[in-house]
């Protein structure tokens, strides 16, 4: 009987998550044979008006025209999320891009590609939605739905910057 009570008590602790460390969902970026995991860098309130930096952005070298594969964990994939980027085109003009709204358990990854082989990615952000404004009234987000971001993961792409001292590696 005592053993059964101990097993039941341990089960309650496991089921409630008591004592387990909580972590924010990470995002994995993969490009050019390298992988980096990034925790949220910016936290915002539910309205998106009050934001604060928590962590520094990650960095990854990505040559011009190359894709970046982005993977999110289940906690993030169950909600709504989007990818936003800034890239520089051949005329040295910065342009933006964004994915459609992703998630609701259907999207655990996204491949970000720039329009042309000469375009250089400069920054990528993955925005986790705190709430969505659905334009269609449907239970699934429309491609043009807007949302308020809650946590952002940022990646600065370092290909344009000079190599670190002693770093002779090619991308």
pLDDT in tens, 115-150: 999 999 999 989 887 654 444 444 444 444 444 456
Tell which wins on pLDDT, 24 or 71.
71
Please say if the pLDDT value at position 169 is more than 60: no
Please say if the pLDDT value at position 70 is more than 80: yes
| Of the candidates 129, 125, 127, 131, the residue with the CA atom closest to the CA atom of residue 154 | 125
Please say if the pLDDT value at position 104 is more than 80: yes
């Amino acid at each position: 009987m005592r053993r059964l009570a101990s097993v039941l008590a341990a089960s309650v602790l496991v089921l409630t998550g008591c004592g387990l460390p909580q972590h924010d969902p990470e995002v994995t970026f993969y490009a050019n044979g390298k992988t980096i995991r990034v925790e949220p860098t910016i936290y915002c309130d539910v309205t998106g008006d009050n934001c604060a930096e928590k962590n520094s952005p990650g960095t990854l070298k990505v040559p011009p025209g190359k894709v970046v594969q982005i993977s999110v964990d289940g906690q993030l994939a169950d909600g709504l999320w989007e990818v936003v980027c800034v890239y520089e085109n051949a005329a040295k003009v910065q342009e933006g891009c964004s994915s459609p709204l992703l998630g609701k358990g259907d999207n655990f990854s996204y491949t970000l590609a720039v329009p042309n082989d000469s375009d250089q990615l400069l920054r990528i952000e993955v925005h986790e939605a705190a709430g969505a404004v659905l334009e269609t009234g449907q239970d699934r987000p429309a491609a043009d739905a807007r949302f308020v971001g809650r946590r952002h993961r940022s990646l600065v792409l370092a290909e344009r910057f000079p190599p670190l001292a002693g770093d002779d590696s090619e991308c």
